Chain A
């Protein structure tokens, strides 16, 4: 190629690029009435809830593509919105079940099939449960939360009868069977793709849901899009209205708001509190808003790191937090306050509940002086950068307020990837954190977040035998159905935790979802993701 050829070729190419083709405008769109267009910040990284590191978006895929033996009922909440009912266990793959002292027997529906047409049998359930308790990581921990510990607990009675033996009396065993983890897999299909190194076929199910749920994945472009189709032969509930769900990942929160306001999508997820507050006021779109069950943001102090070992120091901080300011400036009112109650001792079993603390700088100063820190001290306040939209403004407000009583707090921004590791090491003295439990029981929250077993969520490294006794008593009483003991234990447990205050509750955030007014059937679920099965569109 010589110089002249190159130059002329270059100009030809440029000219060719200019010839834009005027294409005819044809109706190209798929039917919109039975399609739900959904946008969120992240898409799934794995379609299998048992996978290594499956993210929250992956939970949504697993929830809709797999069936479980049982599920929760749905109830209308006092404010008119709909949410799952933790007190009602409803049939899904199991038509009915019989519990006795030693275990529970499930009778499966006989007409249910997986997506490939294979009938669902008790052997599939057994294999799936064996997998959940054996693969390790999150699914195994979640199964253990309901005392589902080892494969020997699960047995096949006949093709459509399956039994779970109790490892110990535990009121959470059956509720734990209705969460996402004990999904039922098409064992024959997965086994075909299992290898010696990967006996449970995790590599296959990561990209290919092997279930029998109401939806199946028609197309998945990781990081971009998931397209679901309805599984028309679904038997475990009424046939869903939506034939197709298109779920696109939109990283910019501004665009996620613009898209729903301009009616270019049906449902918009993961918006900042400020946007939701404004959208609720403007009323262009519908915003479903529910407090996140069994969850709260709090300030946590590591009691093994002085001066946080001193009760008076912790209480001083609890009295100096600018609670209302945080509610107004950080959450724009999109949360339930967890402060300002009459007493730290509960008078009923409502959970989460507010503490008796409120902002009182003089009282805080007094307590700090009593503790021997009249001149204050220095510490570092950490938050998770991946939750920075909430964590950062709280940190700044806290820094200012702590300054009023002489405490100099530097702000440590911990990268999201590092946060869990720091929590596990219990290396942070003082942090802003969020915890919520799937199973909505106060003793479940306390077991993870306060109990002396020192789980990763007990970031305070708080060990108090008196509190542990109450938590254990509450669990035992729940299992044996002893309501009076249960109530007494729960009340004492909360009173101790709030009086000793290693963790200062701030607020219970709302889960907000923005949608077109034509979208109906949304229900809040403990997993904080969407259940497409109940949703639909009103054609106008």
Chain B
């Protein structure tokens, strides 16, 4: 297994080289002049030129690329002009915020979608199957920014049940001491239950928004995969042998149906990271998606490059983990295959 993992790791290298080259070129081709943007309201041509120089934008493309590679080797991803901080620091502080939100949403949707999918498959054609169909159709057809705004309007503005959508913590709470960057974990480590509660309260609406969106593919895949397994011969044998239906469904059918569900989870996770951008905007979540979009609008190259690089690394790691999980879930799957 170690050899297989290493072999798999080697295939990552060309991908990463490709990502570095493409992001560099892509951000240079985009329209916009950051020097003019950051020269300020009363700048003249001379001061714009001065800023262009300090940003290294006056050099030729190959020179800029070499400079970029050199910085990259030293772990220097440049400065984000929009917040004025080093990109590496920004990504390090924002990635946990996005990950906490995405993982909460994913957990929430798994908790609902998997049982829903199983029940829909077991009781095919019943009311629960129809419910599953309605929920999944609603989930895919309602865009996240719409559900986000709707939730804020109903649960915060009209009913006042949810706390104000002001980010990871309400205005008067203080972030827990930094350990993992996940406020849920850090607050528990610090034994600060008030902050934990405040974090959960702030998470509920955005996580539900994203969970609704993620429900559909997971529930549909669970249902389809369960249906095909339930109609296979070993299940018929199990039933014929007189095993109770609970054992048949959960132990034999579901475990065999998990493989496509795990693949879908991986896809949904990467999908959610993308959908984050809009949810982060609506809920003032200081995540990585809104940061990258902001940078793109301002033609701020460094954060965009850093973001794409971080995302590429994340996807590669995710795919690796899913590949490895396959082997563990189903012994028939081998990485070499």
Contacts and interface: CB of A to CB of B under 8 A. Distances in A.
Interface of A: 1-3, 6-7, 14, 17-18, 20-21, 23-26, 28-30, 32, 35, 37, 39, 43-46, 51-55, 136-138, 140-142, 145, 206-207, 221-225, 246, 248-252, 254-255, 258-259, 261-262, 264-265, 386, 415-421, 423-424, 448, 455-457
A35 B171 CA distance: 11
A455 B157 contact: no
A456 B83 contact: no
B217 to A, nearest CB: 19
B197 interface: yes
A251 B45 contact: no
18 contacts: A7-B329, A21-B193, A25-B194, A37-B172, A43-B83, A53-B81, A145-B42, A246-B172, A248-B284, A258-B156, A258-B165, A262-B164, A416-B298, A417-B32, A418-B31, A418-B36, A421-B37, A456-B42
B166 interface: yes
A248 B171 contact: yes
B222 to A, nearest CB: 15
Residue of A1, A6, A26, A137 most packed against chain B (CB within 10 A):
A137
Nearest to B290: A251
B298 A417 contact: yes
Contact of B40 (A20, A53, A250): A53
Interface stretch (B47-55, B126-134, B224-232, B234-242): B47-55
A459 to B, nearest CB: 13
A65 to B, nearest CB: 15
A425 to B, nearest CB: 9
Residue of B34, B90, B198 most packed against chain A (CB within 10 A):
B34
B125 interface: no
B47 A141 contact: yes
B247 interface: no
B166 A137 contact: no
A43 B80 CA distance: 14
A28 B194 contact: yes
Nearest to A3: B328
Contact of A255 (B37, B165, B294): B165
A417 B284 contact: no
Given A141-B43, A246-B172, A421-B33, 17 more contacts: A7-B255, A25-B197, A29-B172, A37-B171, A45-B81, A54-B40, A137-B40, A140-B47, A221-B286, A250-B165, A415-B297, A417-B31, A418-B33, A421-B32, A424-B48, A456-B42, A456-B44
B196 interface: yes
Nearest to A415: B32
A254 B33 contact: no
B82 A223 contact: yes
Contacts of A53: 37-40, 51, 81
Contacts of B44: 141, 455-456
B107 A259 contact: no
B36 A258 contact: no
Given A248-B166, A251-B290, A45 B82 contact: yes
Nearest to A141: B42
Nearest to A35: B172
A137 B290 contact: no
Interface string B166-210: 110001110100000000000010000111111010000000000
Interface in B141-156: 149, 152-153, 156
A224 B195 CA distance: 18
Contacts of B300: 417
A458 to B, nearest CB: 11
Contact of B33 (A7, A28, A250, A417): A417
Contacts of B111: 14, 18
A259 to B, nearest CB: 5
A20 B281 CA distance: 27
B85 interface: yes
Contact of A417 (B34, B110, B194): B34
B14 interface: no
A32 B172 contact: yes
A23 B167 contact: no
B296 to A, nearest CB: 9
B185 to A, nearest CB: 12
Given A138-B47, A252-B284, A258-B156, A418 B32 contact: yes
Contacts of A55: 82
Interface in B291-336: 291, 294, 297-300, 325, 328-331
Given A53-B81, A137-B43, A222-B85, A251 B281 contact: yes
Nearest to B200: A20
Contact of A254 (B36, B152, B294): B152
Contacts of A222: 83-85, 90
Residue of A30, A259, A419 most packed against chain B (CB within 10 A):
A259
Contacts of A137: 39-40, 43, 47, 50-51
Given A21-B196, A456-B45, A223 B54 contact: no
Contacts of B152: 254-255, 258
A6 B324 CA distance: 11
B336 to A, nearest CB: 18
A264 B164 contact: yes
Contacts of B34: 417
Contacts of A448: 42
